[in-house]
Amino acid sequence: MFSDLCFKVFDQCIGDYHIQNSISENPKNPFEKDDIKHLLYQKNWIDTVQWHLEDLIRDPEINPVDALELKRTIDRSNQKRTDLVEYIDSYFLEKYKNVEISNTATFNSESPAWAIDRLSILALKIFHMDEETKRKGASDEHIRNCSTKLQILIQQKEDLCSAIDQLLSDIESGTKYMKTYKQMKMYNDEDLNPVLYNKDKQ
pLDDT of the residue at 26: 78
Total domains in the fold of the chain: 1
Mean pLDDT of 4-33: 91
Query: Where is average pLDDT lowest: 88-92, 96-100, 198-202?
Result: 198-202
pLDDT of the residue at 22: 80
Terminal C-alpha separation, the chain? 56
- Higher pLDDT pick, 196 / 59: 59
Residue 115 in contact with residue 164, Cβ under 8 Å?
Answer: yes
pLDDT at residue 129 above 60? yes
Burial class (CB in 10 A: 0-12, 13-18, 19+), 39: buried
What helix, strand, coil percent values describe the chain, rounded to 5?
Answer: 65, 0, 30
Calpha distance 7→40 (Å, rounded): 9
Residue 181 in contact with residue 113, Cβ under 8 Å?
Answer: no
| Banded model confidence at residue 128, pLDDT cuts 50, 70, 90 | very high
Query: Where is average pLDDT lowest: 69-73, 87-91, 170-174, 197-201?
Result: 197-201
Calpha distance 171→112 (Å, rounded): 10
Q: Determine how many CB atoms are found less than 10 A away from the CB of residue 100.
A: 7
At a CB cut-off of 8 Å and minimum separation 6, what does 43 contact? 81, 84, 85, 88, 116, 117, 120
Domain that holds residue 31: 2-201
Mean pLDDT of 136-155: 97
